[in-house]
C-alpha cells in the first residue's frame, strides 16, 4: 500500500522542473483536460468565482497554441458538464457566455491556425446564443485539417453512453444490427467521439483525483496526470511536464 501511494505521488506534478525536453516522436495524439480550480483560484484572490472562469478562458488560448506547436492532433477540454447546471444561476449564465466570448475573440486566429472546432454535448438544451456561436464555429472550421479542438459542453459521459445504447437498441429493434454484432467498436462509433481516437493522456488540474463523468469509456487505457495547479495558473510548461511524464510511462493496454 505504501509503495502504491508513493508511486501515485510520483505521478503528480511537483512543479520543480519547468523545462523538459520531449521526444517529438512520442507526443500524445489526443490530450484531454479537466480544467478545474477556477473557483478556488478566485477565492484565494478575494475575487468572485466568475473571475476565475474568465481567467481560465484566457489559459485555453495558450494551451491551444502549445498543442499546435507540439503537433497534438486532438485537444479535448471539459468546459461545462451536465452536472454544472446545479451551480448558481449567475455562474451558469456566465459559464455559458464564455464559449461565445472566446470564439468572438479567437475564431479568426483558429481559422488561421487551421484548427477544427468541435463540440461534444447536448447543444439542444444550451441557451440559443451559446448554441449559435458554437455551431457557427464548427461550421466555419469544419474543413480545417490541423488541431481538433474538442470542447465538452453540456457533456456527461453517462448521458453519452445512455444515448449510444438507445441508438444501438433502435438499430437492433429495426433489424439493421444484430445483437451478436455489437462490439466495442460499435459502441465507440455511437459515442460523441465517434471518429476520434481515444485520449492518450488525461490531465486534471486543482488537486482533485477523479473523472467527474468525463469520457469514461474513452479513457479506459489513457495515462492520467494530476496536478495541484489551479487551472488559471496552468501554463504551457505544465503541459510539457505532463507530456514528459507521459513519455516515461510504459503503456501495456493490459498486456505485458
Ligand atoms: C471547474 O472549476 C471549471 C469549470 C466548471 C469551467 C471550466 C471553464 C473554463 C476554464 C472556461 C471555458 C471557456 C470556454 C471557451 C469554453 P471550478 O469552478 O469547479 O473550480 P473550483 O473547484 O475551484 O470551485
Whether 56 is in the pocket of ligand 1, judged by its Cβ within 6 Å, is yes
- What's the mean pLDDT when you consider all of the chain? 93
Structure confidence at residue 10 as a pLDDT band (50, 70, 90) = very low
Q: Is 126 helix (H, G, I), strand (E, B) or coil?
A: coil
pLDDT in tens, 176-193: 999 999 999 999 999 999
Q: Among 102, 121, 231, which is best to mutate for testing ligand 1, by the most ligand atoms less than 8 A from CB?
A: 231
Q: Is 201 helix (H, G, I), strand (E, B) or coil?
A: strand
Residue with more model confidence, 5 or 208: 208
Whether 60 is in the pocket of ligand 1, judged by its Cβ within 6 Å, is yes
From the number of C-beta atoms within 10 Å of its C-beta (0-12, 13-18, 19+), residue 228 rates as: middle
Residue 237's nearest CA partner among 39, 41, 70 is 70
CB 200 within 8 A of CB 31: yes
Of 11, 38, 69, 84, the catalytic one is 84
pLDDT in tens, 92-101: 999 999 999 9
Dihedral through CA 37, CA 7, CA 70, CA 209, nearest 10? -20
Angstrom distance (rounded) from CA 256 to CA 205: 30
- What's the CA-to-centroid distance between 5 and ligand 1, angstroms? 28
pLDDT of 109 higher than 80: yes
- What's the CA-to-centroid distance between 143 and ligand 1, angstroms? 29
Q: Which atom of ligand 1 is nearest to the CA of 151?
A: 16
Radius of gyration, CA atoms only, the chain: 19
Q: Which atom of ligand 1 is nearest to the CA of 40?
A: 23
pLDDT of 12 higher than 80: no
- Mean pLDDT of the 196-201 span: 98
Look-up: residue for cell 462509433? 189
Angstrom distance (rounded) from CA 207 to CA 149: 24
Angstrom distance (rounded) from CA 6 to CA 12: 10
Whether 35 is in the pocket of ligand 1, judged by its Cβ within 6 Å, is yes
Structure confidence at residue 198 as a pLDDT band (50, 70, 90) = very high
What is the structure's pLDDT at 19? 53
- What's the CA-to-centroid distance between 42 and ligand 1, angstroms? 11
pLDDT in tens, 111-151: 999 999 999 999 999 999 999 999 999 999 999 999 999 99
- What's the CA-to-centroid distance between 85 and ligand 1, angstroms? 12
Q: Which of 11-25, 73-87, 124-138 has the lowest mean pLDDT?
A: 11-25
pLDDT of 256 higher than 80: no
Q: Among 55, 59, 79, 92, which is best to mutate for testing ligand 1, by the most ligand atoms less than 8 A from CB?
A: 79
Beta strands 74-81 and 148-155 are parallel
What is the structure's pLDDT at 17? 43
Residue nearest atom 6 in ligand 1 by C-alpha distance: 79
Look up 84 and say whether it is catalytic. yes
pLDDT of 9 higher than 90: no
Angstrom distance (rounded) from CA 224 to CA 153: 21
Dihedral through CA 44, CA 49, CA 54, CA 59, nearest 10? 50
Whether 28 is in the pocket of ligand 1, judged by its Cβ within 6 Å, is no
pLDDT of 4 higher than 50: no
Look up 144 and say whether it is catalytic. no
pLDDT of 104 higher than 60: yes
pLDDT in tens, 209-227: 999 999 999 999 999 999 9
- What's the CA-to-centroid distance between 53 and ligand 1, angstroms? 5
The DSSP 8-state label assigned to residue 146 in this structure reads S
Amino acid at each position: 500500500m505504501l509503495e502504491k501511494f508513493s508511486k501515485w505521488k510520483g505521478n503528480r506534478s511537483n512543479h520543480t522542473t519547468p523545462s523538459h525536453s520531449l521526444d517529438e516522436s512520442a507526443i500524445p495524439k489526443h490530450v484531454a483536460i479537466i480544467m478545474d480550480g477556477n473557483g478556488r483560484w478566485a477565492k484565494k484572490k478575494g475575487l468572485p468565482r466568475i473571475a476565475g472562469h474568465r481567467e481560465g478562458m484566457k489559459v485555453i488560448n495558450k494551451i491551444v497554441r502549445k498543442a499546435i506547436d507540439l503537433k497534438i492532433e486532438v485537444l479535448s477540454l471539459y468546459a461545462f458538464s451536465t452536472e454544472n447546471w446545479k451551480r448558481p444561476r449567475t455562474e451558469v449564465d456566465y459559464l455559458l457566455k464564455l464559449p461565445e466570448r472566446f470564439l468572438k475573440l479567437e475564431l479568426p486566429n483558429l481559422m488561421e491556425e487551421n484548427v477544427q472546432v468541435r463540440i461534444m454535448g447536448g447543444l439542444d438544451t444550451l441557451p440559443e446564443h451559446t448554441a449559435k456561436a458554437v455551431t457557427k464555429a464548427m461550421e466555419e472550421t469544419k474543413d480545417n485539417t490541423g488541431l481538433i479542438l474538442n470542447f465538452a459542453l453540456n457533456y456527461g459521459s453517462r448521458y453519452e453512453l445512455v444515448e449510444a445504447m438507445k441508438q444501438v437498441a433502435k438499430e437492433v429493434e429495426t433489424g439493421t444490427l444484430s445483437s451478436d454484432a455489437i462490439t466495442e467498436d460499435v459502441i465507440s462509433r455511437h459515442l460523441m467521439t465517434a471518429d476520434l481516437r481515444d485520449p492518450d493522456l488525461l490531465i486534471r488540474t486543482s488537486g482533485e483525483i477523479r473523472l467527474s463523468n468525463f469520457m469514461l469509456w474513452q479513457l479506459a487505457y489513457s495515462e492520467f496526470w494530476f496536478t495541484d495547479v489551479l487551472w488559471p495558473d496552468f501554463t504551457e510548461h505544465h503541459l510539457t511536464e505532463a507530456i514528459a511524464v507521459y513519455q516515461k510511462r510504459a503503456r501495456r493496454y493490459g498486456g505485458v
